[in-house]
Amino acid sequence: MTNRISFVCVSALLCLAGAASAAPNLLNNAGFESPLGFDFSNLSNWNGFFGGPAGTFLEAFNTTGATPHSGAQALVTTVRSGPGTDGLGAFTGHVQFVTSIIPGSMYELSVWARTNPIVTNGAEFRVEWQDAGGNEISRHNAAIQDLLTANFQQFSFTETAPAGAARAAIVLAVHSFVNTQPNADTSVAWDDASFSVVPAPSAAALLGVGALLVGRRRR
């Protein structure tokens, strides 16, 4: 009987620990299925931004018909040379702001991405940690232009929110700052983004391991 009780306790506690590990996604419109923003009137949705020489073709839409990773739509960001310009020194992308950041907590940012169809310059996703006044404290850039293929891959990193952080700006972008070859042409499809807290090992999980060890010793 003692062994059986110990096993039930361990199972229940490990199930609780497993449930706790599935942290909720803090991003809205994570799969780009709903309309995107461009006027920053709703900071909790994706908002497009861009800049570069006149004549450069810039694209940051979810209605291009590009094949998604899941669902019906994906975000496409493109920088391409246009009439009278090589397209260098340009950028475009989308940003979403996540509030109620807890300094000292670890967060994971992930996204699925692929070439659409070619990447000759920069592509990155990043988190910008900001204070309550919107001032940037620090950032983590993940440049992936050399890792992209024609197939969707998941890219991710973890980072601890610094002291003073109150919100995070999540950015998906392409740019033509890296290479100097003429006629910049970079297009990336993004999908299924996620930003979540990485759960710390719970007391329940630790107690579960202890109970398992006790059960084995009694057997």
> How far is 110 from 100, CA to CA, in rounded Å?
19
- What CA–CA distances, in Å, run from 1 to 6, 82, 162, 198, 207? 9, 77, 49, 37, 20
Residues 204 and 104 in one domain: no
Tell me how many domains the chain contains.
Answer: 2
Residues 161 and 104 in one domain: yes
Residues 16 and 113 in one domain: no
Give residue 134's pLDDT: 97
Give residue 36's pLDDT: 98
Give residue 181's pLDDT: 83
Residues 212 and 177 in one domain: no
Residues 117 and 158 in one domain: yes
Residues 96 and 189 in one domain: yes
Strands of 30-178, DSSP E: 47-51, 57-61, 75-80, 91-99, 106-119, 122-130, 136-143, 153-160, 167-175
pTM of the model: 0.85
Residues 122 and 170 in one domain: yes
Residue type, 107: Y
Token digits for 41?
């009137």
- The CATH number of whichever domain residue 109 belongs to comes to 2.60.120.260
Residues 30 and 18 in one domain: no
Residues 3 and 61 in one domain: no
Residues 116 and 194 in one domain: yes
Q: How crowded is the C-beta side of 156, counted as CA atoms within 13 Å?
A: 15
Which positions of the chain have pLDDT values less than 70? 1-21, 202-219
Residues 11 and 99 in one domain: no
> How far is 104 from 100, CA to CA, in rounded Å?
13
Q: Domain of residue 76: give its range.
A: 24-198
Residues 17 and 55 in one domain: no
Give residue 21's pLDDT: 54
Give residue 182's pLDDT: 81
> How far is 60 from 111, CA to CA, in rounded Å?
16
